[in-house]
A and B are shown apart, each in its own frame.
Chain A
């Protein structure tokens, strides 16, 4: 039986090293697991595509007025179940530590409310009695964020969610290698394909 260091179910030319370590590294920073395996081109591609999508989502879901990175936050309070966070944690280190820290400090968020959960129980901007000026980023509510960033906040949420989901594909690739195409699978299953595979095994 092959050792885990050399395990490669699909293509023997790809060295996965330790798939578990590679998977954890790929989750922590997109592309890092592939760099660890020496698959630098794919590592760069995953890092640029996934981190680029995530950072653009952070940019869209924030502003000077409401604070940056507001589309990514942890909250499971009454009336504010932030389910997109479950997708966003697919991008490990850029999301998890900061969102949990800001959740812990939710009364006094740091970094001008970066990735901090919005305040609850503040006047709705649609209410006539509400103040006309927006509260500071550390005290701003979700209604105010949606008012000041119409559709951009949702767009930022979608971008960051998709980045997290894409990184799950990258983690799988780091652990198991590329998924064989359907056509390749069918070729292997044909009698000719099995004969070819047998010959290759005999040679090796």
Chain B
């Protein structure tokens, strides 16, 4: 089951880079923006996974 999470990694990288590239024009700001977006997505996913885990424990 845990191996399934690895499939999210390329998607997070790809989505955050493309999203950031539609909001910035230069490479430096794109990478900085992409990093923030990736952290936000990963954090949100971790929150949802944590909530689902708590629900499944009950």
Q: How far is the CB of B26 from chain A (nearest CB, A)?
A: 8
Write out the residue numbers on chain A whose beta carbons fall within 8 Å of the beta carbon of B14.
49-50, 52-53, 162-163, 166
Partner of B10, one of A41, A42, A45, A56: A56
CA distance A14 to B17 in the complex (A): 20
- B10 partner residues in chain A, CB cutoff 8 A: 52-53, 56
Give every chain A residue within 8 A of B19 (Cβ-Cβ): 169
Q: How many residues in B have their beta carbons less than 8 Å from beta carbons of A? A: 17
Interface membership of A2, Cβ < 8 A: no
| Closest beta carbon of chain A to B34's beta carbon, Å | 9
- How distant is the Cα of A142 from the Cα of B24 in the complex, in angstroms? 42
Smallest Cβ-Cβ distance to A49: which chain B residue = B14
Asked if B7 and A11 make an inter-chain contact with CB atoms under 8 angstroms apart, the answer reads: no
Does B18 sit within 8 A of A, measured CB to CB? yes
Q: Which of A11, A45, A52, A159 contacts B21 (CB 8 A)?
A: A45
Contacts of B4 in A (CB 8 A): 151
Q: Which of A92-100, A133-141, A172-180 contacts B (4 or more CB under 8 A)?
A: A172-180
B13 cross-chain contacts in A, Cβ below 8 A: 49
Given A45-B17, A162-B15, the answer on whether A14 and B25 have CB atoms closer than 8 Å is yes
Determine whether the beta carbon of B11 is less than 8 Å from that of A46.
Answer: no
- Is the C-beta of A87 less than 8 angstroms from some C-beta in chain B? no
Say whether B55 faces chain A, with CB atoms less than 8 Å apart.
no
Bound Cα distance from A159 to B18, whole angstroms = 14
Which residue of B15, B25, B27, B30 contacts A166 across the interface (Cβ within 8 Å)?
A: B15
Which residues of B have CB within 8 Å of A56? 10
What's the least CB distance linking B28 to chain A, in Å?
10
CB atoms of B11 and A178 under 8 A apart: no
Residue interface bits A20-53, CB-to-B below 8 A is 1, else 0: 0000000000000000000101100110011011
CB pair A46–B18 under 8 Å, yes or no, is yes
Contact of A178 among B15, B17, B23, B27 (CB under 8 A): B23
B-contacting residues, A172-204, CB 8 Å: 172-173, 177-181
Closest chain B residue, CB of each to CB of A50: B18
Contact, CB under 8 Å: B11 / A179: no
Distance between B12 CB and nearest chain A CB, rounded to angstroms: 11
- How many Å lie between the Cα of A170 and that of B13 in the bound state? 16
Contact A178 B24 (CB under 8 A): yes
Query: B: which residues have CB within 8 A of A?
Result: 4, 7, 10-11, 13-15, 17-19, 21-25, 27, 30
